[in-house]
């Protein structure tokens, strides 16, 4: 089973994704029909559980998007369940230690490379594609750097086999650096360049969440060399569409 997104990231093709903060498969389908490359279920700041995530993965598959999940933490056993449910990759928040992350990563790949448990599950159609999935599946693995300590670990994380790139959480990172939401701080820009250099040195992609659904800002992110970009969220996009109504109330 080829992981198309993993191949495209390796080839340097920019991949723009939809971010599901609700647990709604309907919201997911709306976004999936809009031309994104991937769709991630946010289990850190969102409301979805494993069963709801599996329904969203099916929606993504129907529309040809790569289904991913942002875990609430580096929980290897939750990661196993979500991969079994059909996730083709994971984003892991607040990664700061390379040894701890290497241990987590080992739970996402099968023996002999790792220690993921083998079962007849949705990901292999309950055994129908078992042999192919077992032999060929490689998940997209992306640690998120969201703290000063994570920036310091960027080089070691980018060098890990199996890591496809490093994804910046701009709000958490800016908060860790002393100015939540202030992306113009020199210390924030320096942190971004540190992570970028680590990714370039190791041939890995650098990613970021463009939280405001602003197409001009999205193009700027592409021009800046980000190769994995999350664009807005379902709930922020809904609010963005209606905010003028609130602002114009008398």
Residue linked to tokens 């079994």: 84
Q: Quote the CA–CA distance of 152 and 22 in Å, as a whole number.
A: 32
Packed helices 25-32 and 50-62: angle between N→C axes, nearest 10 degrees: 30
**Active-site residue, 107 included:** no
Token reading at 164: 């496809």
Phi, psi of 142 (to 5 degrees): -135, 105
> Tell me, what DSSP letter sits at residue 83?
H
Q: Which of 45, 107, 209, 240 is catalytic?
A: 45
Q: Which of 160, 40, 169, 168 has the alpha carbon at shortest distance from 103?
A: 160
Burial of residue 156 (CB within 10 Å: 0-12, 13-18, 19+) is: middle
Give the catalytic positions in this structure: 45
């Amino acid at each position: 089973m080829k992981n198309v997104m993993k191949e495209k990231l390796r080839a340097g093709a920019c991949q723009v994704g939809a971010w599901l903060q609700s647990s709604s498969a309907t919201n997911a389908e709306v976004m999936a029909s809009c031309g994104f490359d991937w769709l991630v279920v946010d289990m850190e700041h969102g409301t979805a559980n494993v069963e709801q995530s599996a329904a969203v993965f099916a929606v993504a598959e129907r529309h040809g998007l790569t289904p991913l999940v942002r875990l609430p933490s580096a929980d290897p056993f939750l990661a196993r369940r979500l991969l079994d449910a059909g996730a083709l990759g994971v984003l892991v928040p607040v990664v700061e230690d390379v040894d701890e992350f290497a241990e987590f990563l080992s739970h996402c790949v099968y023996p002999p490379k790792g220690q993921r448990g083998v079962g007849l599950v949705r990901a292999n159609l309950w055994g129908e594609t078992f042999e192919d999935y077992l032999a060929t599946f490689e998940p997209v693995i992306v640690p998120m750097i969201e703290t000063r300590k994570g920036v310091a670990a960027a080089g070691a994380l980018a060098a890990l086999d199996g890591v496809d790139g490093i994804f910046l959480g701009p709000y958490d990172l800016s908060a860790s650096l002393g100015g939540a939401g202030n992306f113009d701080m020199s210390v924030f820009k320096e942190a971004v360049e540190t992570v970028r250099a680590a990714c370039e040195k190791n041939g890995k992609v650098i990613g970021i969440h463009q939280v405001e659904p602003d197409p001009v800002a999205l193009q700027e992110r592409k021009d800046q060399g980000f190769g994995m970009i999350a664009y807005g969220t379902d709930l922020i996009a809904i609010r963005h569409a209606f905010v003028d109504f609130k602002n114009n109330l008398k």
